Amino acid sequence: MKVPFVDFTPSNTQFRERAIKTLEQVFDKGWYILGEQVQQFEQEYAAFHKVKHCIGVANGLDALHIALRIKGITKGDEVIVPSNTYIATVLSISFVGAKPIFVEPNPDTYNLDPNRIEQAITPNTKAIIPVHLYGQACEMDAIMQVANKHNLYVVEDNAQGQGAMYNGKKTGSFGQVNATSFYPSKNLGALGDAGAITTDNDTLAYKCRVMRNYGSQKRYYNEVIGLNSRLDEVQAALLRIKLQFLDKWNAERNQIAQIYLNELKNTGDIILPITAEKATHIYHLFVIRTKHRDALQEYLHTKGIQTVIHYPIPPHLQECYQHLGYKKGDFPIAEELADTCLSLPIFVGMTQNQIQYVCDTIKNFFQN
Ligand SMILES: *Cc1c(COP(=O)(O)O)cnc(C)c1O
Ligand 1 centroid from CA 88, angstroms: 6
The mean pLDDT value for 78-100 works out to: 98
220 φψ region: left (φ > 0), alpha (ψ -120 to 50), beta (else): left
**Going by C-beta distance under 8 Å and a sequence separation of 6 or more, which residues neighbour residue 310?**
86, 134, 285, 287, 341, 343
Condensed to tens digits (0 to 9), the pLDDT of residues 269-305 reads 999 999 999 999 999 999 999 999 999 999 999 999 9
181 CB near ligand 1 (under 6 Å)? yes
DSSP 194: -
The mean pLDDT value for 132-155 works out to: 98
Residue 68, pLDDT score:
98
The mean pLDDT value for 148-165 works out to: 98
Taken in order 334, 76, 60, 112, the sign of the CA dihedral is: positive
Domains located in the chain, CATH noted:
9-243 (3.40.640.10), 246-367 (3.90.1150.10)
Q: Give me the residues paired with residue 342 across strands.
A: 288
Contact 89, 68 (CB under 8 A): no
> With 90 as the cut, is the pLDDT of residue 171 above it?
yes
Condensed to tens digits (0 to 9), the pLDDT of residues 234-275 reads 999 999 999 999 999 999 999 999 999 999 999 999 999 999
Contact 260, 344 (CB under 8 A): yes
The mean pLDDT of the chain is: 98
Condensed to tens digits (0 to 9), the pLDDT of residues 32-47 reads 999 999 999 999 999 9
Indicate which atom in ligand 1 lies nearest the CA of residue 131.
13
195 CB near ligand 1 (under 6 Å)? yes
Pairing relation of β-strands 165-166 and 169-170? antiparallel
> With 90 as the cut, is the pLDDT of residue 368 above it?
no
Distances, alpha carbon 349 to alpha carbons 10, 38, 158, 262, 300, in Å: 5, 28, 23, 19, 20
> With 90 as the cut, is the pLDDT of residue 149 above it?
yes
157 CB near ligand 1 (under 6 Å)? yes
Distance CA(147)–CA(87), nearest Å, equals 23
